[in-house]
Amino acid sequence: MPSIERVSAAEFGSCVKELADLLADAVEGGASVGFVTPFDHEAAAAWWRAQAPAVAAGSHLVWACREDGVLLGTVSLVLASKPNSRHRAELVKLMVRRSARGRGLSRALLATAERAAAEAGIELLMLDTETGSAAERVYLTGGWTRYGIVPAYAGAPDGTLLDCSFFYKRLS
């Protein structure tokens, strides 16, 4: 059974290679997670390394789902920094390795992030995802509310513009 643990600031640097492998796998598989091809492991590692200051500051929280020591998935919460928005956070980079999909790991990661957010006093979570994607179905069936669709909002890895659905979930 996979375990899900929060990645501490102290261990984050040693996880970058694994997180980069996961991100590169997602992009290679066509996931619209903010990157276009060509996209290699070094570009993925650079993106994760750029998150280190926020992870160290506690404003970017990362969880890792592992089985037998292998990283199968991740999810992050980015906490709002403005004084009038500290009650909310953004759920970002929910990814499951293609070879591990269909096992309920995305739902488990999502539940972990939601629970941690609630325990931290976060009352509202926000996210965006590709309209019509498998990820969208996870949110639609997980109690999230879609509040809009923006046409041609984000690009697929091949550069094709995709519609994007925006969601929120109240935790209180």
Domain boundaries along the sequence of the chain? 3-125
DSSP letter at 36? -
* Percent of residues, the chain, with pLDDT higher than 70: 100
Q: Is the pTM of this model over 0.85?
A: yes
| DSSP strand pairing (161-170 vs 124-130) | antiparallel
- CATH architecture entry for 3-125: 3-Layer(aba) Sandwich (3.40)
Question: How do residues 121-137 score in pLDDT, each as one tens digit?
Answer: 999 999 999 999 999 99
- For residue 106 the two structure tokens come to 């995305």
Confidence of residue 78 (pLDDT cuts 50, 70, 90): very high
Which ranges of the chain would DSSP assign to H, the alpha helix? Answer: 9-28, 41-50, 52-57, 105-119, 134-141
Question: How do residues 22-62 score in pLDDT, each as one tens digit?
Answer: 999 999 999 999 999 999 999 999 999 999 999 999 999 99
pLDDT of residue 172: 81
pLDDT of residue 44: 97
Give long-range contacts, CB 8 A cutoff, 24+ apart: 139-148: 139/110, 139/165, 139/167, 142/107, 142/110, 142/169, 143/169, 144/168, 144/169, 145/169
